[in-house]
Amino acid sequence: MEFGLMGKTAIVTGGSKGIGRAIAIALAAEGCKVVICGRGEAALNETKQRIEGQGGEVFAVQADLTKQEDVDRLISETISHYHTLDILVNNAGIVGGFFDFEALSVEDWEEVFNVNLFGMVRVTKAALPYMKKEASTRIINISSESGIQPDPFMPHYNASKAAIINFTKSLSKAYAKDGILVNTVSPAFVMTPLLEDNLKADAEEQNITFDEAVQQFLEKNRPHIEVKRPGRPEEVADAVVFLASNKASFITGENIRVDGGSVASQ
C-alpha cells in the first residue's frame, strides 16, 4: 500500500525505546525523515544506527521534554536540519510506578503529568507554527487503554492518559481548519522493555517462568484481551503509520485502540 509518506518529516518523542522506537523505524521504512528524541544518549544512538542500517534517514536529539529549553531546541534543530515538519508523534511518557492511590504523593502525580501531558503540550505548542505552514499535517498522540478503562492502581498514570485523549479531541476541533489532523492511538498491554523487565522481576520473585508471569498478568489485569497475548510495539506503529498517511485524510479527533479487544465498551 502506498502511504504517501516519502520525504515527510516526522518527530517521534520518546523515539529511542519501546513503542516510540517501533514507530520511528516504521515511519523511516515508509520514507519519512525521522527525528527521534529521548533523554538517554546511548539508546538514541542505538536506535539511530538501527534505522540507518535499514536505509532510513534519521536525526537524533537528546532532550528532556519537562524542560522548555530542550523542547525549543528539539523543534529548532528539526527545522534547521530538515526545514519542514509534517508529522508529530507525541509518544514520550512514564508510568510512575504501579502503586495504589494512598501510596502516591502529590509529587508523584506532578511528575507523571509533567512528562505525559505537559511534555506533550510543550512540544505541540512549539511545533504548531511550523506545521501550519504545510498543506497537510498530522499530530498523533499516544495514550493508553488505561485512559478509557482505568486500573484500580496507578491512578496518576490513568488520569494522565485520559487527559491526553481529551487534549487530542480539543486540538482536532481547533486545527482542522489549518489542515492539521489530530488523533490518538491507545495501546493495551504491549510488551515494551519496561513491562518486560517488570514481568521478569515478578517471575523471579514468585519463582515462576516468564511466560507464566505474562499469563498471570493477563488473567489478573487484562482479562478482556480477546487475543490472549500481549501486543507488539510494531502493531502500535502500524496504526500510527496509517494515521500519518494520506489514507487517513478524513479521520481526526479519533482514539484508535490497539488493544486486542481489551476495552470492554465502545
Same domain, yes or no: 160 and 225: no
Same domain, yes or no: 182 and 208: no
Same domain, yes or no: 222 and 151: no
* Residue 264 within a domain: no
Q: Give the count of domains, the chain.
A: 2
Residues 155, 161, 163, 165: is their CA dihedral positive or negative?
A: negative
Q: What is the pLDDT of residues 90-127, one digit of tens each?
A: 999 999 888 999 999 999 999 999 999 999 999 999 99
Same domain, yes or no: 221 and 127: no
User: Which sequence positions are flagged as catalytic?
Assistant: 157
pLDDT (average), residues 247-257 = 97
Same domain, yes or no: 161 and 238: yes
What angle, 0 to 180 degrees and rounded to 10, lies between the N-to-C axes of helices 41-53 and 18-29? 30
* Residue 135 within a domain: yes
Same domain, yes or no: 200 and 114: no
CA–CA separation, 225 and 9 (whole Å)? 34
Same domain, yes or no: 102 and 195: no
For the chain, percent of residues with pLDDT exceeding 90: 88
Which residue matches cell numbers 504523593?
A: 105
pLDDT (average), residues 199-206 = 92
pTM higher than the cut 0.75: yes
Same domain, yes or no: 121 and 202: no
* Residue 54 within a domain: yes
Supply the range of the domain harboring residue 221.
191-230
Residues 43, 45, 46, 48: is their CA dihedral positive or negative?
A: positive
Same domain, yes or no: 16 and 145: yes
* Residue 20 within a domain: yes
Q: State residue 265's pLDDT score.
A: 73
pLDDT (average), residues 28-55 = 97
Same domain, yes or no: 110 and 223: no
| CATH code, domain carrying 54 | 3.40.50.720
User: What backbone torsions phi and psi does residue 9 show, to the nearest 5 degrees?
Assistant: -100, 130
Same domain, yes or no: 89 and 196: no
Same domain, yes or no: 217 and 238: no
